[in-house]
Amino acid sequence: MADTSTSGGERADILDLLHKHRELFLVTVRGLTDDQARQRPTVSELTLGGLVKHVSRTEQSWTRFIVAGPPEGPEIDWARIDWSNPPPEVREFQDSFRVLEDETLAGLLAEYDAVAAATDALVREVDLDSSQPLPKAPWHEPGSRWTARRVFLHIAVETAQHAGHADIIRESIDGQKSMG
């Protein structure tokens, strides 16, 4: 049975890392309206609401990977996509960065909270040394595997990276900075 204590040790460190990066990320959307969450004040296509949605879905997909391995699905040749008419799985990926008409920032934040709680529960339960083969992709070395531990660290890194994107977007909207 896995150690489920969080009073110290590796699991507590992983949870602390995840919590700190999530909090820094969420600072960027505090007090925003739905309209502000959809704004694109920079040359990027990214919006704050879209980043919340993307970070949430990415975290959820990586925790599914820990439990079930790489997803089944069509291989996508990203270099040959007709961007004027992308296939459905590419449109779905693009929509993971967008706040759709029927979505609200509050709803996206509630979804993110639920995903974070599920991830935290998995950190407490899973064998951190269990591993899965990475999906075939040009950015993964063929035949490589990641442990659950490595995936949790990757989730923290992804969250931190997108917190930086979000900080720039928020500062462009109203001057608010996460730090400094």
The gap between the terminal CA atoms of the chain, to the nearest Å, is 44
| Average pLDDT over every residue of 19-26 | 97
Each domain of the chain, given as residue ranges in start order, spans 9-70+81-174
* Residues 114-157 pLDDT 10s: 999 999 999 999 999 999 999 877 778 888 999 999 999 999 99
Mean pLDDT of 17-45: 96
Q: Whole-angstrom Cα distance, residue 35 to residue 38?
A: 5
Largest CA distance in the chain: 52
Whether the predicted pLDDT of 70 surpasses 60: yes
Mean pLDDT of 74-82: 77
Predicted pLDDT at 3: 44
Residue 69 has a pLDDT of 95
Residue 110 CA to its chain's centroid (Å): 14
Determine the residue type at 66: I
The 8-class DSSP code of residue 146 comes to E
| C-alpha closest to that of 65 among 136, 139, 18, 131 | 131
Q: How long, in residues, is the chain?
A: 180
Alpha carbons within 13 A on the beta-carbon side of 71: 12
CA distance 108 to 91: 19
Q: Please give the share of the chain, as a percent, with pLDDT higher than 70.
A: 95
Strand partners of residue 57: none
pLDDT at residue 5, rounded to an integer: 47
The SS3 of residue 147 is strand
| pTM confidence score | 0.89
Q: Residue 7 — pLDDT band, cuts 50, 70, 90?
A: low
Confidence bin at 8 (pLDDT 50/70/90): confident
**Which class is domain 9-70+81-174?**
mainly alpha
Average pLDDT, the chain: 91
C-beta atoms surrounding 33 within 10 Å: 10
pLDDT of residue 180: 64
